[in-house]
C-alpha cells in the first residue's frame, strides 16, 4: 500500500494532522484507512538494499502510516520508529550511550526507565547521575561533570512522572549539546499536541504509545522520533537486531486511537484543571501537584513551553498512606489501576510499587484524567475524600 504525505502538511494544525496524516494514497477505490498487513517476510531477489522490506523484523507496511504520523506531529523530518513497548523504546534510546559514558537522568522519571538505567549502570555500562530536573543549575553541573567526565546523554521528562516537576527544556538542551550529549525527551505525558521537544532542542523524542497516543488502554507499544539520520539509523538497527518490534495489529489500533487524540486531550486537560482547582481548596488534600495551577512551582515554565498543562495531576492526601489507600478504595467511578492516558480516569498510590523512589510521598495519588463528565469525576473524588479524611 502506497502512502502519501498529508496534504499541505506544513500548514495543517496538529489537531488536523492526527486525523489527516498517514492515509493511503487517494486513488480510485483505495481504502480510506490503511489496512493491516500480516506477513513475516516479503518477496525479493538479488542483494538487499536500503528501503527493501526483506523481512518482518525490519519493516511492516502497517507500521508506516503510524510512524509517518508521529513524525509529522513531532515536527521531525524522518519517519518515526515504533517498538513493542515503551520500555523497548527506552532500551533502544539508552543504547545510544557509548560504553563507559555518562547518563544524566531526573531522579523522578518513568519508573521503568529509571530502573533500567540503574541496572545498566550497576553492570558498568555507563555512569548514572540523577538530578532534580527542575533545578537547572544542578542539571548543568551534572552535565559538565565538575572536573569529571562530561555527560554523554541527558534524559528529560517534563513534567516528570509522578512529581510533575517542570524542566527548562530550552536551556537544558542547549547545555547538553554544548558538552556533546545527546538529549532524549520522554514526551508521553504531554503528547505532541501539548509540547514539541524537537523544537525546544531535543535530539530524540520518546513515547509510550500505550498511553495517550493509542488512548484506549488496549495497546502496549512504544515509539521514537528524531530528525537525525545517524541516530535514527542506530535506533533502527537496535530494533532490528534486538527484535522488540511492534505487532501489525497493535500498530493499526494505535493509529486508530490517535485519530481522536486532539479531542481527548482537549477534554481531559480542561477537566484536569477544573479538578485541580477544586482539590486545592479541599481540606482533605495537603498538596496538589499540577503545572496548570498558578501556585505550582513549574507554572511559569509550563506556560512558556507547553500548549496547555496536560491531564495528569497528583494529590497528597491528608492522613498519610493509609488515608490515601482509603480514598482509592472509596472511589466508584475512578478506576484504581496503573498506567495513564486512556479515555477512562485512573488513580493510583504510586508508592505501592516497590521500585518507586523514596522521595515520592507515601500519600501521593496520581490521577490520570479521562474524558468523563467533569462533575461526575469531582463528585466521586469529593465523596471519597469526605468519607476517609477528616480534619
Q: Which CATH number fits domain 12-258: 1.20.1420.30, 2.60.40.10, 3.40.640.10, 3.40.50.2300?
A: 3.40.640.10
pLDDT computed for residue 390 by the predictor = 66
Q: Which stretches of the chain are DSSP H helices?
A: 14-20, 63-74, 86-94, 111-122, 136-144, 169-178, 191-194, 197-200, 229-242, 248-258, 261-280, 299-305, 320-330, 374-388
3-class secondary structure, 38? coil
Residue 10 has pLDDT above 90, yes or no: no
Task: Break the chain into its structural domains and give their ranges.
Answer: 12-258, 261-388
pTM of this structure: 0.95
Percent pLDDT > 70 in the chain is: 97
Mean pLDDT of 66-94: 98
pLDDT interval class at 32 (50, 70, 90): very high
As a whole number of angstroms, the distance between CA 306 and CA 255 comes to 24
Arch. (CATH architecture) of 261-388: Alpha-Beta Complex (3.90)
Mean residue pLDDT of the chain comes to 95
Output the nine-digit C-alpha cell for 174: 542547549
As a whole number of angstroms, the distance between CA 121 and CA 22 comes to 39
pLDDT interval class at 3 (50, 70, 90): low
pLDDT interval class at 9 (50, 70, 90): low
Mean pLDDT of 212-238: 98
pLDDT computed for residue 146 by the predictor = 78
Query: CB neighbours of 308 closer than 8 A, spacing ≥ 6?
Result: 193, 194, 265, 269, 292
H-run or E-run covering 346: strand 346-349
Q: In what order do the strands lie in the sheet with 346-349?
A: 285-289, 312-317, 364-368, 346-349, 335-336
Mean pLDDT of 136-149: 94
pLDDT computed for residue 8 by the predictor = 46
User: Which residue has better confidence, 209 or 3?
Assistant: 209
Mean pLDDT of 188-193: 98
pLDDT computed for residue 20 by the predictor = 96
Residues labelled as active-site residues: 57, 110, 186, 211
pLDDT computed for residue 1 by the predictor = 43
Mean pLDDT of 283-290: 97
Query: Sign of the CA dihedral 185, 187, 192, 195?
Result: negative
Amino acid at each position: 500500500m502506497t502512502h502519501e504525505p498529508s496534504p499541505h502538511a506544513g500548514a495543517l494544525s496538529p489537531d488536523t494532522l492526527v486525523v489527516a496524516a498517514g492515509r493511503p494514497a487517494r486513488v480510485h477505490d483505495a481504502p480510506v484507512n490503511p489496512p493491516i498487513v500480516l506477513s513475516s517476510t516479503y518477496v525479493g531477489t538479488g542483494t538487499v538494499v536500503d528501503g527493501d522490506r526483506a523481512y518482518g523484523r525490519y519493516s511492516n507496511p502497517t507500521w508506516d502510516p503510524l510512524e509517518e504520523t508521529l513524525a509529522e506531529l513531532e515536527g521531525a523530518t524522518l519517519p518515526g520508529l515504533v517498538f513493542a513497548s515503551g520500555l523497548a523504546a527506552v532500551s533502544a534510546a539508552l543504547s545510544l550511550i557509548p560504553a563507559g559514558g555518562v547518563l544524566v537522568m531526573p531522579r523522578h522519571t518513568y519508573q521503568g526507565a529509571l530502573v533500567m538505567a540503574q541496572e545498566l549502570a550497576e553492570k558498568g555500562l555507563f555512569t548514572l547521575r540523577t538530578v532534580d530536573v527542575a533545578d537547572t543549575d544542578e542539571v548543568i553541573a551534572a552535565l559538565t561533570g565538575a572536573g569529571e567526565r562530561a555527560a554523554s546523554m541527558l534524559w528529560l521528562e517534563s513534567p516528570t512522572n509522578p512529581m510533575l516537576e517542570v524542566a527548562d527544556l530550552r536551556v537544558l538542551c542547549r547545555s547538553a549539546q554544548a558538552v556533546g550529549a545527546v538529549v532524549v525527551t520522554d514526551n508521553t505525558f504531554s503528547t505532541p499536541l501539548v509540547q514539541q521537544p524537537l523544537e525546544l532542542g531535543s535530539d530524540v523524542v520518546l513515547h509510550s504509545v500505550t498511553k495517550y497516543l493509542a488512548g484506549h488502554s488496549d495497546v502496549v507499544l512504544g515509539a521514537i522520533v528524531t530528525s537525525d539520520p545517524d541516530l535514527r539509523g542506530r535506533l533502527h538497527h537496535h530494533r532490528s537486531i534486538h527484535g522488540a518490534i511492534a505487532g501489525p495489529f497493535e500498530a493499526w489500533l494505535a493509529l486508530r486511537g490517535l485519530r481522536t487524540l486532539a479531542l481527548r486531550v482537549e477534554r481531559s486537560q480542561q477537566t484536569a484543571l477544573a479538578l485541580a482547582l477544586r482539590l486545592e481548596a479541599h481540606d482533605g488534600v495537603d498538596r496538589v501537584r499540577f503545572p496548570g495551577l498558578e501556585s505550582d512551582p513549574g507554572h511559569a515554565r509550563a506556560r512558556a513551553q507547553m500548549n496547555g498543562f496536560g491531564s495528569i495531576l497528583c494529590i497528597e492526601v491528608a492522613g498519610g498512606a493509609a488515608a490515601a489507600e482509603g480514598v482509592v478504595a472509596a472511589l466508584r467511578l475512578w478506576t484504581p489501576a496503573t498506567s495513564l492516558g486512556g479515555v477512562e480516569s485512573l488513580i493510583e498510590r504510586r508508592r505501592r510499587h516497590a521500585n518507586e523512589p523514596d522521595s515520592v510521598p507515601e500519600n501521593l495519588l496520581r490521577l490520570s484524567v479521562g474524558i468523563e463528565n467533569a462533575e461526575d469525576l469531582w463528585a466521586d473524588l469529593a465523596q471519597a475524600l469526605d468519607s476517609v479524611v477528616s480534619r
